[in-house]
Amino acid sequence: MKTDPELRYKTLISKLQQRGSRLTSHRIALARLISVSEGHPNASQLFKKLRIQFPSVSLATIYKTLALLKAEGEVLEIDLHGDSRYDGANPFPHPHLICECCGMILDGDEIKSIGELNNEIESKYGFQITRPQQIFYGLCKDCRASIDKKG
Amino acid sequence: MKTDPELRYKTLISKLQQRGSRLTSHRIALARLISVSEGHPNASQLFKKLRIQFPSVSLATIYKTLALLKAEGEVLEIDLHGDSRYDGANPFPHPHLICECCGMILDGDEIKSIGELNNEIESKYGFQITRPQQIFYGLCKDCRASIDKKG
DNA sequence: TTTTGTGCAAATTCTTTGCAGACAC
DNA sequence: GTGTCTGCAAAGAATTTGCACAAAA
């Protein structure tokens, strides 16, 4: 459920403007990078890509800008034990399926029972969910297939 | 869904024995501590408690033993961005509801739609879930009530 | 006795912070 | 102009690791 990169970019920029943040060249470039990103890059990967175009950019700026966009709810942080990944292409909370074999991170979009789960939690515990983080570790289709082949 | 502490303790000890690990006094004490723990302590909290009884114990040993029990599937690690919590009282995967207001971590036991969600993910993506980690950040019942009272 | 576990301290790694200079507005 | 943002380097914090000694089997 990846939204249109151009729309994403415009949203990110306008969110920064709305909150009164300044549009520096590095922020604009990061917003663009996040909008077109397909995977789930970490701060270091975004830094390396951005540095090609802006050799003077620093990792600290990446973290600071990501924190800004995270606070605006425009970037999701996937918390992987000391290697946070950022999902800025799809701003809607969704499960992430992480293959323990190949490391791939798959977006679990269009899972119907998520809504039901949320309802059940909210009604059963009176808990108001603001930010779900659902990570499913396991084996992806391809890795299962290659394991089956071997044994 | 807290299981009987005594049963839990015996399970932890026998799992360590089965894998050929030695039963040192520190490991036995940690197993006991984990079995009776009500909340979701982090390594440092377990360390502080254990140090009362065993002043010579080290934090490294806590981490090493937790890793052992985690590998045996007897302890769940809740990955909270640089503050891992350990749930050893309830070895079955279950969601954790974390209140962003008071910090409380509630066990989301007996959520029926979890099974449905797992099935949907497995059938839709051909993904075999081995270890789900579902963390729901939000507002607990009590904090919602006190916010409502204020206005 | 032999192998595994332990404490200690240093190393590692991701992330945050303080500050003087740079830049958007 | 002025208040925010930046890079840099250093600080921070949780966890892991290497090694000589200690303890379990």
pLDDT tens digits for range A35-67: 999 889 999 999 999 999 999 999 999 999 999
Residue B92 — pLDDT band, cuts 50, 70, 90? Answer: confident
Residue partners of A15: CB distance under 8 A and separation at least 6 = A69, A72, A74
| Residue B93 phi, psi dihedral angles, 5° rounding | -55, 135
Q: CA(B149)–C1'(C14) in Å?
A: 40
Give B-chain residues touching A116 at CB under 8 angstroms.
113, 116-117
Does residue B118 have a pLDDT over 70? Answer: yes
Residues 45-84, chain A: which have Cβ within 8 Å of B? 79-82, 84
Residue B89 — pLDDT band, cuts 50, 70, 90? Answer: confident
Given this model, what pLDDT does residue A17 score?
96
Does residue A151 have a pLDDT over 70? Answer: no
End-to-end, the C-alpha distance of chain B in Å comes to 35
CATH number of B5-87: 1.10.10.10
Q: Which residue is nearest to nucleotide D15 (CA to C1')?
A: B63
For the CA atoms of A110, A111, A116, A118, what is the dihedral angle to 10 degrees? -90
> What length is written for chain A?
151
Domain ranges within chain A, ordered by starting residue = 5-87, 96-150
| Mean pLDDT of the residues in chain A | 94
Q: What average pLDDT does the segment B98-114 reach?
A: 93
- What's the predicted TM-score (pTM) here? 0.93
Q: What average pLDDT does the segment A97-120 reach?
A: 93
Per CATH, which fold does A96-150 belong to?
Dna Ligase; domain 1 (3.30.1490)
Residue B96 — pLDDT band, cuts 50, 70, 90? Answer: very high
Q: What angle do CA A145, A148, A150 make, to 5 degrees?
A: 115
Tell me the C-alpha distance between B18 and B14, whole Å.
Answer: 6
Given this model, what pLDDT does residue A111 score?
92
Given this model, what pLDDT does residue B1 score?
59
Tell me the C-alpha distance between B68 and A20, whole Å.
Answer: 49
Judge residue B35's burial from the number of C-beta atoms within 10 Å of its C-beta, 0-12 exposed, 13-18 middle, 19 or more buried.
Answer: buried
Residue B42 — pLDDT band, cuts 50, 70, 90? Answer: very high
**AA identity, residue B93:** P
Given this model, what pLDDT does residue A10 score?
97
Tell me the C-alpha distance between B26 and B53, whole Å.
Answer: 10
Taking CA–CA distances from B108, the nearest residue in chain A reads A121
Give the helix, strand, coil percentages of chain A, each rounded to 5. Answer: 50, 15, 35
Is the Cβ–Cβ distance between B79 and B96 less than 8 Å?
Answer: no
Given this model, what pLDDT does residue B41 score?
96
